[in-house]
C-alpha cells in the first residue's frame, strides 16, 4: 500500500529524460538495447536536447570526495558517471533516458568488428579528429597503452575483465609485467597502425563491445603517465577537462576546446563548467537544492534524497529510476541441497515488508527475477508466488547477515518472514568488515545470507555466468556467486548463449534466468535499488544512466 | 628559558614517537584486511597475496612499523620525509591528502578560536567584575545553557533558519582564502559563529572564576587602594593573573581542534581533517588514519609547548 501511494505521489514528479520531457512510466525502466554497427550511428554531433542552451555551471553535490579520476582505476558509480565527461572510451552508450540503450563507437568508428565471427579477435578503428586536451591526436597505441597500464597492480581499483580475458587467467599480472617494460604490449593487444587496435582472446568474448565501454579503455599518452600521480589530472579526451580542485572540497571541470562534437554521438557540452562539491551530507544536499539559492538552483545531489525528505520534493525536481543494483537472499546450495526447501524459501519471503523496512518505495522495488529489470531482454515472472508450505521436519537454517544497521534490518525482516511461513531460522550476525569475504568462501558455515550484484553492463552475460556458472567456483574464496550453484546441465547453456551475437542474447538470458529459478532456485530475488535524487529548478537534461543507475550528465544544461 | 623550550621540544619528539608506536599497533593489529578492499570484483586468494606482498602487508606488524618509521625519517622515492606512506584507497601520499584537508580545518578553527576565547573571556570578566549582579546571573545562565546545547543541534537549527529558510547567510563551504577572501569568510561565517558560541561558555565560566578569585586577592585590594580605576584593576591586574589557566585551556583546545573538528565538519559539510579521518576509518584506509592521528598529536604536543612558552611570558616566576 505504501509502495503504491509513494509511486502515485511520484507519478507527476518523476525523472527528466534526455529530451527534457516526462517518460510514460518513470518508475519501471526496462532497457532494450542494440549494437549500432552502422558507423553513422557513432558519428556526432549528438542530437540537440530540446530547450538546452549553452552556458552556466552545473553543481554536483556528494558527501565524500571522488576517490579516483584515473580512468584505468575507476569502478565506483560516481567515477563512472563523471569520467564520461572527460575520458572517452572505445565504445559508449547512447541512452535516451527511457530505456533505449544503443551501444555506439566512442573513440572507435563502430562498437568493434568481430574479425572472424568467433568473438575471439576484435578490431577497433579509431575515429579521425579525436584529440587529447593537449591537441595531440588519439592513436590506437594510446588506447593500447591505457589497457597495458591496467595490468599494473599498483594502479588497482578498476575492472579486470580485459586483463583477465587477454591473459586468460585471473592472475593476469603474472602473464604480463607492465612495470618491467612499459613499451611492450600485453598478450593479444596489437596496433597494426595508428588507427587500428586489435584485441585477440584465447576464448570467445562476444561481450567485448560492452566491456570496452568501461573507462579502462580510455587512452593515456605514455609520456604523460605518472603512475599513481596520473590520478590527479588525467589527460582529457571528452568535452570537459579537469581545471583543478580546491582541497577535497571542490573539483572543477571546464570545456575542453580540443573536443570535436562531430566525433561524438553521445555527449554535449552545454554548461561552461561542472563543479563537484564534496562534504555536504544527503540531508544538507537536498535542503540546499530545495532552497535553490544562487548556484544551488542548478545543482543535483549525487547521494540521493533521504526518505524522510521525499515528501518535500515537489514539481519535477525528483529524478528517479530503478538501477541495476540487485539484492538477493542467496541460498548456499552446498548446504541447502533439497530443491523443495529452496523453492519454499522463495515462496516464503514477503518482499513488500522488506522494501518498507529498507526505506520504502523511494529506495527499492521488489523483484522476483535473477536479472534486474534494467537488463536487456529482461522478462518478468514469479516462479514461486507463494504461499510457502515448508514440509515438516525441515532442518534449522542459519541466516547470516552483516552486523551493521542495514544488515540487522535485513536479517530481522528476512528471518521474520521465513519464520511466519513455518521455517526454523537461526540468525547469525557476522562482523560487517568480514561478512563479504566470509560468504565468498565456498566452505562458509551458513545456509542463507543477503548479497547483491551490480553488473558492469546491461546484459545477462554480466550476471548469470558470473554468479551461477559452477565451473568458476574458486575453492580459495573470492567468489562472486555466493549461492555456489554447480549445475552441469547449465554449462552448455552458458557457453551457447555467450557465443551468440549480442543482439540475440537478451531473450536467451531471460529464458535462462527463469529456467535457473524454476529448476534450481539458488537464491531468493529481493529488490532492485532505486536512484531517487533531486535537482535544482534551473538544471535540465538530466536522466538516470541505464547502465550504472546514477545521474548522467552528458545532456545537462543550465536554464537561463 | 631556551633550555626549557629545547627540553620541551625533545620531550615532545619522544612523546610523538610513543604515540606513533601505540597508534600503529592499535590500528594495524586489528583483524582487518586492507588488501581485500584493494582487490577487485573477481578477487581471489592469489591476487590478495600479491597485493599484500606489494604493499608490505604480509610482513609482521613490528616489521611494518619499522618500515613506516624509516620512511617517516628518511622518506622514499616520490614521498619525501616525513613520509606517512600512501593511501590504500587512492595510492596518494598521505601527507598530500592531509595537506589538502588541513587548510579547511585551520580555516574553521583559528578564526573561531579568536571568537570563542575573546568573547568567552570578555563575558566572564564582565561578570566577575560585577559579582551577583543581574549581568553576572545572566552570563552564568547563558554560559550554562551554551554548555548544555550540543553543536550538532545548534548548527543544524541555524542552518535551517539562516541558510535554507531565510537565506540570510550563504551555504557553508570552503574557498581558498588566497582565491577569494570574501567568499572564504562568508562561507565560514556560520561555522565560526556556531563553534565560537559553543566553546565560549567554557571560557566564560573559567574567566568568571579566575578573575573573581584574583579580585579578592591582596594585590588587587592594594591596587584599588592606590586609586586605580576598576577597568585598570581588572584588565591590568586581575585578568593578567588569570591568563595562565585561560591560555592553557585555549592552546589545548586549539591544538585538539586542529587535529580534526569532526562534528563541526560533518554538521556544515566541510571536508577537513575530521571528515578525512572518518572516511579513512570507513574504508579501512589505515595509513590515512595513522597519519591524521600523528598530525593531531603534533598539534596537541605543539600546543603544550606553546602553552609553556606563553605561561613563562605571562608569569616571570616560570622564567627562572
Residue-wise pLDDT for A376-418, tens only, equals 999 999 999 977 776 666 789 999 999 988 899 999 999 999 9
Cβ of A278 and B271 within 8 Å?
Answer: yes
Q: Which of A 407-446 lie inside 8 A of B, CB atoms?
A: 433-434, 436-437
Q: What is the DSSP letter of B79?
A: B
User: Higher model confidence: residue A18 or residue B86?
Assistant: B86
Among B131, B286, B117, B262, residue whose Cα is nearest residue B196: B117
**Stretch B221-250: mean pLDDT:** 82
Q: What is the pLDDT of residue B319?
A: 61
Cβ of B41 and A159 within 8 Å?
Answer: yes
Please list, in sequence order, all residues whose beta carbon lies within 8 angstroms of the beta carbon of residue B22, skipping any fewer than 6 positions away. Answer: none
A281 contacts chain B (CB < 8 A): yes
Q: Strand order in A196-200's β-sheet?
A: A113-114, A121-125, A196-200, A189-193
CA-to-CA distance for B262 and B277, rounded, in angstroms?
9
CA-to-CA distance for A51 and A483, rounded, in angstroms?
49
Contacts of A171 in chain B (CB under 8 A): 46-47, 50
A155 contacts chain B (CB < 8 A): yes
State the nearest Cα–Cα gap between A156 and chain B, in angstroms: 7
Q: What is the pLDDT of residue A4?
A: 34
**Stretch B290-296: mean pLDDT:** 92
Confirm if B168 and B189 have CB atoms less than 8 A apart. no
CA-to-CA distance for A147 and A480, rounded, in angstroms?
24
Backbone angles phi, psi at B248, to 5 degrees: -60, -50
State the nearest Cα–Cα gap between A202 and chain B, in angstroms: 19
Q: Which pTM does this prediction carry?
A: 0.86
Q: Which long-range contacts (CB under 8 A, 24 or more apart) does A104-107 make?
A: A104/A36, A104/A41, A104/A42, A104/A265, A104/A266, A105/A36, A105/A39, A105/A42, A105/A265, A106/A42, A106/A213, A106/A264, A106/A265, A106/A266, A107/A138, A107/A143, A107/A217, A107/A219, A107/A237
Instruction: Say yes or no: ipTM exceeds 0.85.
Output: no
Please tell me which of the candidates A159, A228, A280 has its beta carbon nearest to residue B92: A228
Mutate to test the interface with B, among A77, A155, A156 (most CBs of B within 10 A): A156
Please list, in sequence order, all residues whose beta carbon lies within 8 angstroms of the beta carbon of residue B103, skipping any fewer than 6 positions away. Answer: A247, B174, B176
Confirm if A29 and A321 have CB atoms less than 8 A apart. yes
Q: What is the pLDDT of residue A143?
A: 98
Please list, in sequence order, all residues whose beta carbon lies within 8 angstroms of the beta carbon of residue A359, skipping any fewer than 6 positions away. Answer: A307
Please tell me which of the candidates A278, A293, A480 has its beta carbon nearest to residue B167: A293
Q: Which of A 340-379 lie inside 8 A of B, CB atoms?
A: none
CA-to-CA distance for A353 and A2, rounded, in angstroms?
10
**Least reliable range by pLDDT among A29-43, A294-308, A456-470, B303-317:** B303-317
- Burial class of residue A333, CB neighbours in 10 A (0-12, 13-18, 19+): buried
Please tell me which of the candidates A153, A280, A281 has its beta carbon nearest to residue B54: A153
Cβ of A228 and B265 within 8 Å?
Answer: no
On the question of pLDDT at A110 being above 90, the answer is yes
Cβ of B279 and A65 within 8 Å?
Answer: yes
Backbone angles phi, psi at B15, to 5 degrees: -60, -40
Q: What is the pLDDT of residue B22?
A: 92
Q: What is the pLDDT of residue A400?
A: 97
Q: Could you tell me which residues are beta bridge partners of residue A322?
A: A530
**Stretch A282-297: mean pLDDT:** 92
Please tell me which of the candidates A65, A155, A478 has its beta carbon nearest to residue B43: A478
Q: Which residue of B has its CA nearest to A245?
A: B100
Confirm if A133 and A110 have CB atoms less than 8 A apart. no
pLDDT digits (tens, 9 = 90+) for A6-58: 333 333 333 434 333 333 344 566 777 778 888 999 998 999 999 999 999 99
A vs B, Cβ pairs < 8 A, gives 125
- C-alpha dihedral, B121 to B123 to B129 to B135, nearest 10°: -160
Q: Helix or strand or coil: residue A364?
A: strand
Cβ of A67 and B44 within 8 Å?
Answer: no
User: Higher model confidence: residue A220 or residue A480?
Assistant: A220
Q: What is the pLDDT of residue A157?
A: 84
A129 contacts chain B (CB < 8 A): no
Q: What is the DSSP letter of B316?
A: G
**Stretch A283-295: mean pLDDT:** 92
On the question of pLDDT at B78 being above 60, the answer is yes
Mutate to test the interface with A, among B37, B40, B85, B160 (most CBs of A within 10 A): B40
Contacts of A154 in chain B (CB under 8 A): 54, 91
Amino acid at each position: 500500500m505504501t509502495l503504491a501511494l509513494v509511486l502515485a505521489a511520484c507519478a507527476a514528479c518523476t525523472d527528466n529524460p534526455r529530451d527534457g520531457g516526462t517518460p510514460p512510466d518513470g518508475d519501471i525502466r526496462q532497457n532494450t538495447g542494440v549494437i549500432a554497427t552502422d558507423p553513422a550511428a557513432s558519428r556526432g554531433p549528438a542530437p540537440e536536447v530540446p530547450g538546452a542552451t549553452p552556458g552556466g555551471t552545473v553543481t554536483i553535490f556528494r558527501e565524500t570526495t571522488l576517490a579516483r579520476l584515473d580512468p584505468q582505476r575507476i569502478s565506483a558509480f560516481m567515477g563512472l558517471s563523471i569520467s564520461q565527461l572527460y575520458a572517452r572510451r572505445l565504445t559508449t552508450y547512447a541512452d535516451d533516458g527511457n530505456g533505449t540503450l544503443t551501444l555506439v563507437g566512442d573513440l572507435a568508428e563502430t562498437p568493434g568488428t568481430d574479425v572472424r565471427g568467433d568473438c575471439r579477435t576484435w578490431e577497433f578503428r579509431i575515429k579521425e579528429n579525436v584529440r587529447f586536451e593537449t591537441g595531440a591526436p588519439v592513436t590506437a597505441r594510446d588506447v593500447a597503452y591505457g589497457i597495458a597500464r591496467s595490468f599494473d597492480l599498483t594502479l588497482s581499483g578498476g575492472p579486470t575483465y580485459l586483463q583477465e580475458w587477454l591473459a586468460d587467467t585471473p592472475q593476469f599480472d603474472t602473464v604480463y609485467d607492465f612495470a618491467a617494460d612499459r613499451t611492450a604490449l600485453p598478450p593479444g593487444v596489437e596496433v597494426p597502425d595508428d588507427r587500428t587496435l586489435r584485441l585477440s582472446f584465447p576464448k570467445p568474448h562476444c561481450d567485448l563491445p560492452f566491456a570496452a565501454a568501461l573507462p579502462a579503455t580510455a587512452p593515456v599518452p605514455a609520456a604523460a603517465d605518472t603512475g599513481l600521480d596520473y590520478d590527479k589530472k588525467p589527460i582529457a579526451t571528452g568535452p570537459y577537462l579537469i581545471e583543478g580542485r580546491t582541497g577535497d572540497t571542490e573539483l572543477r571541470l571546464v570545456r575542453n576546446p580540443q573536443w570535436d562534437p562531430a566525433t561524438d554521438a553521445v555527449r554535449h557540452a552545454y554548461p561552461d563548467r561542472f563543479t563537484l562539491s564534496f562534504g555536504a551530507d544527503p540531508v544538507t544536499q537536498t535542503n540546499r537544492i530545495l532552497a535553490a539559492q544562487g548556484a544551488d538552483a542548478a545543482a543535483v545531489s549525487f547521494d540521493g534524497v533521504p526518505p524522510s525528505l521525499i515528501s518535500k520534493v515537489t514539481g519535477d525536481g525528483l529524478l528517479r529510476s530503478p538501477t541495476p543494483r540487485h539484492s538477493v537472499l542467496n541460498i548456499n546450495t552446498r548446504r541447502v541441497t533439497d530443491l523443495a526447501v529452496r523453492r519454499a524459501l522463495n515462496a516464503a519471503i514477503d518482499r513488500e515488508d522488506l522494501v518498507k523496512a529498507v526505506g520504502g518505495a523511494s529506495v527499492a522495488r521488489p523483484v522476483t527475477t535473477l536479472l534486474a529489470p534494467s537488463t536487456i531482454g529482461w522478462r518478468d515472472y514469479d516462479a514461486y508466488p507463494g504461499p510457502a508450505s515448508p514440509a515438516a521436519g525441515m532442518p534449522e537454517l542459519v541466516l547470516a547477515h552483516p552486523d551493521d544497521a542495514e544488515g540487522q534490518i535485513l536479517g530481522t525482516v528476512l528471518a521474520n518472514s521465513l519464520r511466519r511461513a513455518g521455517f526454523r531460522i537461526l540468525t547469525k550476525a557476522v562482523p560487517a568488515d568480514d561478512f563479504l569475504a566470509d560468504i565468498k568462501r565456498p566452505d562458509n558455515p551458513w545456509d542463507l545470507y543477503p548479497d547483491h550484484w551490480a553488473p558492469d553492463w546491461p546484459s545477462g552475460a554480466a550476471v548469470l555466468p558470473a554468479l551461477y556458472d559452477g565451473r568458476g567456483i574458486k575453492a580459495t574464496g573470492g567468489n562472486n556467486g555466493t549461492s555456489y550453484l554447480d549445475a552441469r546441465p547449465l554449462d552448455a547453456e552458458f557457453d551457447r548463449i555467450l557465443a551468440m551475437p549480442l543482439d540475440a542474447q537478451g531473450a536467451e538470458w531471460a529464458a535462462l534466468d527463469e529456467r535457473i529459478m524454476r529448476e534450481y532456485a539458488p537464491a531468493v530475488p529481493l529488490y532492485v535499488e532505486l536512484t531517487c535524487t533531486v535537482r535544482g529548478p534551473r538544471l535540465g537534461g538530466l536522466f538516470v544512466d541505464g547502465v550504472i543507475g546514477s545521474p548522467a550528465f552528458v545532456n545537462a544544461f543550465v536554464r537561463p | 628559558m631556551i633550555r626549557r623550550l629545547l627540553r620541551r621540544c625533545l620531550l615532545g619528539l619522544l612523546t610523538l614517537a610513543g604515540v606513533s608506536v601505540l597508534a600503529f599497533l592499535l590500528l594495524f593489529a586489528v583483524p582487518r584486511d586492507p588488501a581485500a578492499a584493494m582487490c577487485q570484483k573477481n578477487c581471489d586468494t592469489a591476487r590478495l597475496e600479491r597485493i599484500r606482498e606489494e604493499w608490505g602487508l604480509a610482513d609482521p606488524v613490528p616489521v611494518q612499523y619499522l618500515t613506516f618509521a624509516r620512511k617517516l625519517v628518511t622518506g622514499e622515492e616520490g614521498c619525501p620525509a616525513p613520509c606517512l606512506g600512501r593511501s590504500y584507497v587512492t595510492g596518494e601520499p598521505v601527507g598530500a591528502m592531509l595537506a589538502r584537508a588541513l587548510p579547511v580545518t585551520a580555516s574553521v578553527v583559528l578564526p573561531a578560536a579568536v571568537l570563542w576565547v575573546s568573547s568567552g573571556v570578555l563575558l566572564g570578566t564582565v561578570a566577575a567584575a560585577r559579582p551577583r549582579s543581574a549581568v553576572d546571573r545572566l552570563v552564568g545562565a547563558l554560559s550554562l545553557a551554551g554548555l548544555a546545547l550540543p553543536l550538532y543541534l545548534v548548527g543544524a537549527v541555524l542552518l535551517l533558519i539562516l541558510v535554507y529558510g531565510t537565506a540570510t547567510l550563504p551555504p557553508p563551504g570552503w574557498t581558498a582564502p588566497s582565491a577569494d577572501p570574501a567568499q572564504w569568510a562568508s562561507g565560514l561565517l556560520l561555522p565560526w559563529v556556531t563553534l565560537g558560541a559553543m566553546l565560549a561558555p567554557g571560557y566564560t565560566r573559567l574567566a568568571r572564576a579566575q578573575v573573581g578569585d584574583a579580585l579578592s586577592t591582596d594585590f588587587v585590594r592594594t591596587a584599588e587602594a592606590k586609586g586605580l580605576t576598576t577597568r585598570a584593576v581588572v584588565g591590568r591586574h586581575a585578568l593578567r593573573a588569570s591568563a595562565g589557566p585561560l591560555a592553557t585551556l585555549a592552546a589545548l583546545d586549539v591544538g585538539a581542534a586542529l587535529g580534526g573538528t569532526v562534528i563541526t565538519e560533518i554538521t556544515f559539510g566541510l571536508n577537513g581533517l575530521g571528515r578525512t579521518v572518518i572516511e579513512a576509518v570507513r574504508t579501512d584506509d589505515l595509513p590515512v588514519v595513522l597519519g591524521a592521528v600523528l598530525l593531531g598529536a603534533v598539534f596537541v604536543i605543539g600546543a603544550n609547548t606553546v602553552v609553556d612558552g606563553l605561561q613563562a611570558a605571562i608569569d616571570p616566576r616560570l622564567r627562572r
